[in-house]
Chain A
Amino acid sequence: MNATNRIVNRALLLVTGLALAAVGMLLLLASGRFPWLDPAADAVAEWGDSVGAWAGSFLFEIPGLGEVSGGLLIGFVAAIVLLVLLIIFLATRGGGRTGTAARRETERGNTEIDARLADDLIAAVLRESTDVLSAHTGVYRVRRAPAIRISLTLRRGAQLPRVLDSVDGALTRWDALVGHEIPVVLHLQGRGWLDRWRSATRVR
């Protein structure tokens, strides 16, 4: 439920994939093992030569270094811009978690409900159930408003309708406390490999 822009993820994968494919094809062409592709290889080589000639055709004077070819300079600038964009990309993954589950503003003051209270009032109640191995909540911002995610892992042999009823009960009490309905997403998670060693029943 985080705020990662997924189109950008896929765009990065696609662009990198296409670039790698182009370089790989060039290397295959350059290997000369495919005689029927030689006209294409010649055309690519000719095109590469003309680009190289254009890149070397203008020079810049840089104090302390002397003359630098324009192509090299363009390459440097492009690499730096790409580097910055990639670092921005890495920094903007994830996010969207928030510490405030609800907020109400009146003339006399503001009231904020902390996300930890959601854990105490919803997840802690569910943890009491013998059907539940673990329960925890997280609050995320979805469409500029907080939404609660409840992650539940069930014990072996759990009665799912009973679990859903207890979730409904916990939510009714939560709604009464908050005063308005915050969107809630219940995720029934599979047990991880470590949970294999847990017992099927809970004894109290």
Chain B
Amino acid sequence: MSDNTDVYTRVLRRESHDSRTAPAVVTAAILILLLAGLLVLGIWTLVDAKLGDSIAGFLAGENTTLDAVTLSLAAGIILVLLAIVLIWLAIVPGRRDRRSRSTARLAILADNGVLADVVADRIAERCGLDRGNVSVLIGRSASSVHVTPTSGVPLDSAVVADIATGTLAAVGFESNVRVRIADRGVVS
């Protein structure tokens, strides 16, 4: 049905990117604690002038054994590093390891790991290999298959690539498959 396509576009776009809710909520919570603390301290200093003096003394570094230069240098470096992490999180697209497509009736969202599992299962089945000797990595546009053959049994990489692309095509996803077959087989 055509009127669902924009819902699908929106959902699939959102679901294939990280929401950044977790870091944002943590940041907001820390900011709330800091601000509340500052407010309480500020009101306290208004009421009790002695506290204000002791805070000023503490900020001037009267009681600390560390010298102010190292302290501000270390704090500055830590804050700048934190800032870089936060700005990085804010700007980078944050794509998730997922693929998506929509059919006439529904939108399909598949974790790349699930597709890799399915492809590895089919290769192991069809080539008569132990499942542990096939490893598949599915990336955003390309994927790679690494197979360790049974020793003494020849294995054609074109056949393996065909099985992989065929399996992916059967569920409607396409990928450039690169096959690597280990030089030495194992007895499984």
Write the residues of chain A forming the contact surface with B, with a CB cutoff of 8 angstroms: 1-2, 4, 6, 8-14, 16-21, 23-28, 30-33, 65, 68, 72, 75-76, 79-80, 82-83, 86-87, 89-90, 93-94, 142-143, 145, 147, 154, 156-158, 160-161, 164, 167-168, 171, 175, 181, 183-190
Residues of A within 8 A of B113 (CB): 190
**Which of B20, B28, B113 gathers the greatest number of chain A CB atoms within 10 Å?**
B28
Q: Which 9 pairs across A and B sit closest by C-beta, in order of nearness?
A: A24-B79, A17-B86, A27-B76, A21-B83, A28-B76, A24-B80, A14-B90, A17-B87, A20-B83
Contact between B108 and A157, CB atoms less than 8 A apart: no
Q: Which of B19, B31, B76, B80 contacts A4 (CB 8 A)?
A: B19
Chain A nearest CB: distance from B164 CB in Å? 13
Other than the given A16-B31, A31-B68, 7 more pairs (CB < 8 A) read A1-B15, A13-B24, A20-B80, A20-B83, A27-B73, A90-B25, A158-B118
Contact between A147 and B111, CB atoms less than 8 A apart: no
Contact between B89 and A20, CB atoms less than 8 A apart: no
Q: Does B126 contact A (CB under 8 A)?
A: no
Chain A nearest CB: distance from B101 CB in Å? 10
Near A by CB (< 8 A), chain B positions 73-93 give 73, 75-80, 82-87, 89-91
Chain B nearest CB: distance from A104 CB in Å? 17
Q: Which of B11, B68, B117, B121 contacts A185 (CB 8 A)?
A: B11
Contact between B171 and A23, CB atoms less than 8 A apart: no
Tell me whether A183 and B80 are in contact in the complex, defined as CB-CB below 8 angstroms, given that A6-B14, A83-B32, A86-B28 are known contacts. no
Contact between B87 and A24, CB atoms less than 8 A apart: no
A152 to chain B: closest residue by CB: B114
Residues of B within 8 A of A154 (CB): 114, 117-118
Contact between A23 and B27, CB atoms less than 8 A apart: no
B70 to chain A: closest residue by CB: A31
Contact between B111 and A190, CB atoms less than 8 A apart: yes
Q: Does B29 contact A (CB under 8 A)?
A: yes
Tell me whether A79 and B106 are in contact in the complex, defined as CB-CB below 8 angstroms, given that A143-B10, A187-B15, A188-B111 are known contacts. no
> In the complex the two chains form, what is the Cα distance from A161 to B119 in whole Å?
12
Residues of A within 8 A of B8 (CB): 183, 185
Interface SS, B side: helix
Q: Which of A11, A23, A189 contacts B114 (CB 8 A)?
A: A189
B88 to chain A: closest residue by CB: A17
Q: Which of B83, B109, B171 contacts A187 (CB 8 A)?
A: B109
Q: Does B21 contact A (CB under 8 A)?
A: yes
Chain A nearest CB: distance from B126 CB in Å? 13
> In the complex the two chains form, what is the Cα distance from A156 to B134 in whole Å?
14
Can you list 18 A-B contacts (CB < 8 A)? A4-B19, A6-B20, A10-B90, A20-B82, A24-B75, A26-B76, A33-B73, A65-B46, A79-B39, A80-B39, A83-B39, A89-B24, A90-B25, A93-B25, A143-B6, A185-B12, A186-B109, A188-B108
A17 to chain B: closest residue by CB: B86
B29 to chain A: closest residue by CB: A90
Chain A nearest CB: distance from B45 CB in Å? 9
Contact between A27 and B21, CB atoms less than 8 A apart: no
Contact between A143 and B7, CB atoms less than 8 A apart: yes
